[in-house]
Amino acid sequence: MEKILYPVWKPAALDGDGFRDLLLNEVAPALLQQGVRGLRISVVDSDVDAASTLRQENCRPVMDAMLSVWLDSSVLRQPIEKVIESHVSRMVGYLVTESEPLISGAKEGVRTPGMAQVVFLQKPARLSEEQWLEIWHGSHTQVAIETQSTFGYRQNVIARPMTYAAPPFDAIIEENFPAKAMSSQHAFYNVETDEALQANLKAMIDSCARFIDFDKIDVIPTSEYLIKQP
- Helix (H) / strand (E) element for 218: namely strand 217-228
pLDDT band with cut points at 50, 70 and 90 for residue 37: very high
**Confidence band, pLDDT 50/70/90 cuts, at residue 98:** very high
Q: Express each pLDDT in 157-210 by its tens digit.
A: 999 999 999 999 999 999 999 999 999 999 999 999 999 999 999 999 999 999
pLDDT band at 130 (very low <50, low <70, confident <90, very high): very high
Query: How many CB atoms are closer than 10 A to CB 61?
Result: 8
Chain centre to alpha carbon of residue 117: 6
pLDDT reported for residue 162:
96
Sequence letter at residue 119: V
> From the CA atom positions of the chain, what is the Rg in Å?
17
Eight-class DSSP state of 14:
-
* Mean pLDDT of the residues in the chain: 97
- Residue percentage of the chain with pLDDT more than 90: 99
- Supply the pTM of this predicted model: 0.96
Amino acid 4: pLDDT: 98
State how far the alpha carbon of 27 is from the alpha carbons of 89, 107, 174, in Å: 14, 19, 21
3-state secondary structure of 167: coil
Please tell me the predicted confidence (pLDDT) of residue 93. 98
Nearest to 172 by CA among 5, 25, 51, 56: 5
pLDDT of residue 56: 95
